[in-house]
Amino acid sequence: MIFRRTLIAASAATAVLAGLVLPGTAGAADKIVLKAADVHPAGYPNVVAIEHMGQKLEKATNGRITMKMFPGSVLGGEKEMIEQTQVGAIDILRTSLGPVGPVVPEVNVFNMPFVFRDEEHMRHVIDGPIGQEILDKITASPAKMVGLGWMDGGSRSLYTKKPVRKPEDLKGMKIRMMGNPLFVDTMNAMGGNGISMGYGEVFTAIQTGVVDGAENNPPTLYTAHHYQAGAKYYTQTNHLIIPEIFVMSKVTWAKLSPEDQALVKKFSREAQMEQRQLWDKSVAEYTSKLKSEGVEFIKIDNKPFFDATEPVRQKYGSQYADLIKRIEATK
């Protein structure tokens, strides 16, 4: 009798467990909680746009799909989070293009100096056929990620201890660059001495004179307090305009119904458009704050810097000549 009761209880438990995992069964099995991650902190435009995407998914599915955001590198750096995304431990990730380049070489085009005329031009490119083609290449690549959309990573310009208005002004100045030979070569071509250095070292390096400045966008200059270290001149070279991407794990994507996949794509496009509105507002706010702190914004003629970096585009872009022509032709 005891054995029979145990067998019945075990059978019932098995039935319950089976009911939880069978597709189409009502209850907890239908609920999907997407884990989203970003290195940027809570409140950052990229983070907010993805959070709003999650809210739209939740509303459209009557709570069946929800999202939990993990901002501020709590799940690791970009390299670690990409690895987690590839195995399905993270479902949606916003990442820079650097780690994607080895598997989808075409994204390296966006890293070249002055490949975009301005941010508006960059947005037209990523919103159009070229942007979709590269997302599709990411999806089709061995990266195990589905390209969902693009985000505006801002326009990078010089900030230095002394004013810079032309390439000659950079002579003898050491400028921190991201750790990529292309970026170091870009600064060297512009007239300065490019120094590869970790982001966390920049404040002290400027303060102590190890470098004479760096380059980035206004929100970063303010939030990293580099102006307090002495970089009080912001020269609007706009030499690098590098978009970013957000992706979904292929493991997660395969578990979604075609209808849910269509919803993810729809809201991804909306997140792409919303992020840039949030970004533009952020840039305006931080620019105002920097000016109130005594930072001088210097508008210049960019052509001398563009001309100086032509050898860099030739060196790194020759294999993407056709793609670069299409980018240049985009209105």
What pLDDT does 299 receive? 97
Residue 170 lies in a domain: yes
Task: Answer yes or no: is pLDDT of 24 > 70.
Answer: no
Residue 79 lies in a domain: no
Domain, as residue range, for 179: 155-241+284-329
Residue 84 lies in a domain: no
What pLDDT does 218 receive? 95
127 vs 100, higher pLDDT: 127
pTM summary value: 0.85
Task: Answer yes or no: is pLDDT of 278 > 90.
Answer: yes
What pLDDT does 3 receive? 36
Residue 252 lies in a domain: no
What confidence tier does 5 reach under pLDDT thresholds 50, 70, 90? very low
What pLDDT does 29 receive? 53
SS3 letters across the chain: CHHHHHHHHHHHHHHHHHHHHCCCCCCHHHCEEEEEECCCCCCCHHHHHHHHHHHHHHHHCCCCEEEEEECCCCCCCHHHHHHHHHCCCCCEEEECCHHHCCCCHHHHHHHCCCCCCCHHHHHHHHHCHHHHHHHHHHHHCCCCEEEEEEECCCEEEEEECCCCCCHHHHCCCEEEECCCHHHHHHHHHHCCEEEECCHHHHHHHHHHCCCCEEEECHHHHHHCCHHHHCCCEEEEEEEEECCEEEEEEHHHHHHCCHHHHHHHHHHHHHHHHHHHHHHHHHHHHHHHHHHHCCCEEECCCCHHHHHHCHHHHHHHHHHHHHHHHHHHHCC
Q: Each residue of 218-239: pLDDT tens digit?
A: 999 998 999 999 999 999 999 9
CATH of the domain at 216: 3.40.190.170
What's the structural domain count of the chain?
Answer: 1
Residue 163 lies in a domain: yes
Residue 257 lies in a domain: no
Task: Answer yes or no: is pLDDT of 126 > 80.
Answer: yes
- Give mean pLDDT, residues 35-58: 95
Which residues touch 263 (CB under 8 Å, ≥6 apart)?
57, 60, 61, 65
What pLDDT does 180 receive? 86
